[in-house]
Amino acid sequence: MRPVIMGPVATGPSESRPRMVAVAAPQLCKSCGVCEDSCPVGAIVVEDTLNIDRQKCDGCGECLEACPLDALSMCEV
């Protein structure tokens, strides 16, 4: 049998591919900070309000599990 030679896979620029990031519902979030501690990549900063760095967020979903108020969800960017 002849070997199959695989060429490079054309995937296009990563910026053009949709990915999932966490977003917070401001009307539900009480800025408790629980999700900040749960994020493994440090994408969440809670001061007066909650801020999620979309560049850092890898869509793991840990913060959604951690939030006691179900204030977080995933959205495609």
Q: How far apart are CA 11 and CA 58, in angstroms?
A: 19
Contacts of 38 (CB under 8 A, 6+ apart): 44, 62, 63, 65, 66
Least Cα distance to 56 among 31, 25, 21, 32 occurs for 21
Q: Which is nearer to ligand SF4, 5 or 29 (CB)?
A: 29
Q: Which is nearer to ligand SF4, 2 or 17 (CB)?
A: 17
Binding residues vs ligand SF4 (CB under 6 A): 22, 24, 29-35, 38-39, 41, 43-44, 46, 50, 52, 57-63, 66-67, 69, 71-72
Q: Which is nearer to ligand SF4, 69 or 77 (CB)?
A: 69
- Shortest CB 7 distance to ligand SF4, Å: 33
